Structure 1
Amino acid sequence: MVTAARKRAVLLLTVMALAIGLGGCGRESGPAVEVAAPGVEAPSRVFGVATDPWHVDEWTAAVGVQPTMVMEFEAWSRNRTIDNHFAELRRQGVKTFMLTWEPWQTVSAVKGKAAQYAEQPEFSNAAIAAGKKDDYIRSWAKSIAASGLIVYVRFAHEMNGDWYPWSRDPAGYVAAWRHLVDIFRADGATNARFVFSVNPSVFEPAGPWVENLRKYWPGDDYVDLLGSTMISFGARKDYPVQEFVSRFELARSIFHKKLIITEFNTAAEGRVKWLADLRTWLDITGKDWVEGIVLSQAESRGAAQLGSQVGDLSWNVMDDPETQPVIRGILQDFERSGTSS
């Protein structure tokens, strides 16, 4: 027999539970920095490779260590999600993924920079901000929410350059970014981490670079991590590691976010030293604020367009025993520092 006192106690607990639930629904959504998908314990520092999930085994066998993240480019014109890619990553035990999400119909690099920069109204910042791509964005938010992975969303990267159409309108870019993030939050994709991924443009003076970059900044509440490309093309665009580091430190001092290097590579000549310098920086001064790094050895648009003005980027770590120990070392450093942090 249930006593009156016990009934009152049950009623009180029920009311408290409802109050907690309603309070949670009423909170403003903040950045996803500290939030993971249920059941996912991702590494605190990630080493990624630009490939598809079905080639991770091959890369691991060749280099001798498994990456902890895969990065893929995805043009919006494909109008799809990639749930099968997520399933393959789960099968292999890879817990993180980077989506380089390009709102355009892909333009071949051989057509040149001007062709790449041309307006594409269907995928413009204005179209995104106005809600014309909401169904597509929502399909990805739901897919990522159900992926069982931590997903770094690198939306409309290198916006501070003049070679992608989304760079054309900084105010529109900010509106599109915020609209997209709001959809992800509304659809419960708390395992998505939004990466504001810039071009370091080390050939440009720091002052104009910063002034331009600020125009695209979506705001602290809409960005989880800074990102940056880091490619030393060789020849007249041969940049030592420290030149990039100076630019990264400047961006960090302005935006106060941790960094993930979203694409790194270097020309064949001097590659071992360049990679060794990178490893030293990552393991010493970059240890506390560089969350990840992605090796991308796919054909570079910049290299394709600059031709003989730059060096040879055709080498690949998978068949280059000279660089494999350095790459293994970077990944092992990340695993060690992640465990000790």
Structure 2
Amino acid sequence: MKLHRRRLRLDGRDYTVVTLRPGTPSRFSTNFYHGTWHVLSDWGGARLLGRLLWGLAYQRVPGTVVLIDRPHLDTNPFDAEPADPIALVPALLTPFTHKAARDLRQRLPLRGAPDGTVRWHTHGLDTAVAAQRSQRDRPRGSWQAPWIRPRGFTERVDRIGGLVTLTATPDLLEEHAVDVSTLGDSAFHGMDYTELNWPNGEVQVFRDYRERVSAAAVARREILSEAEPAAEPAAEPAAERNAGAKAGTQAGAKALAKPESKARAKTGARAGTRAEANLEAEAGAGADANPRGPSRLDPYALNRLIWDRGTEVRRRRLPAQTSRPRTNA
């Protein structure tokens, strides 16, 4: 497998940034959901990601980083929000600081001719994948090597400097490479996943990944076209939105726990009731004047609407089923 290589100076250090070639057909996306960073793709993308992880485990050049960026990134297949670039980092070989990640993100997308081409060797991966698949067929209760908890740093999945980053030791890179390469073997309803540094990371694949990406983009356009132009919220990183929601919930709980807040709550409840009645009256009066939809959409409500509409879009695209005429026996 051939990849492109670029030499970049990031945070005062020299880095070798390895990227996919423009003609590579695999596509990826990312999103942050239930406190976990997800790398999303299909069966083919999982096989390619497995080879990238396996080859990275055997790299010997300090400062090597594998980067997945446009044109190999899609908007995510749930609510069509932009994906973050993905960085794969060998933990014992490359120090990848927040400053280095920010410097790299500011240079994206990387343009111009690469500094060279590298042959990405993945010898032994196919054998390891076959061995793992054979383990599933062994008799129940047969002996297996005990799992020993590793000590010290092993891996980390996080969003660093605008990049969704997987940093892992060579042993973990190999293990993840095998797990990712077998995604789809045990798919349930066209979906499969494997954990990375759980609960911080996960690789999730869909059989109809590209169809989901397309449907989500159509759904987002439809939902926003039904609302006023000001309905689309300002772009905000997924991690910050989740952190803000959690902080708001905790702050509200602490406020309710204070004794003096109970008296304020009674007064506020009466005022809130009057305010809600006024808002409902205004909404009713303006319903006929603005039949297109709400003037403001909460980001979480918007994402949920897009998710549901995307399901409808995929349903509409299904071929019509013709009923067979019944015949009397």
Higher helix share: 1
TM-score, normalization by structure 2 = 0.24
Please say which structure displays the higher CA radius of gyration.
Answer: 2
Question: Relative CO higher for 1 or 2, CA cutoff 8 Å, sep ≥ 6?
Answer: 2
TM-score (normalised: structure 1): 0.23
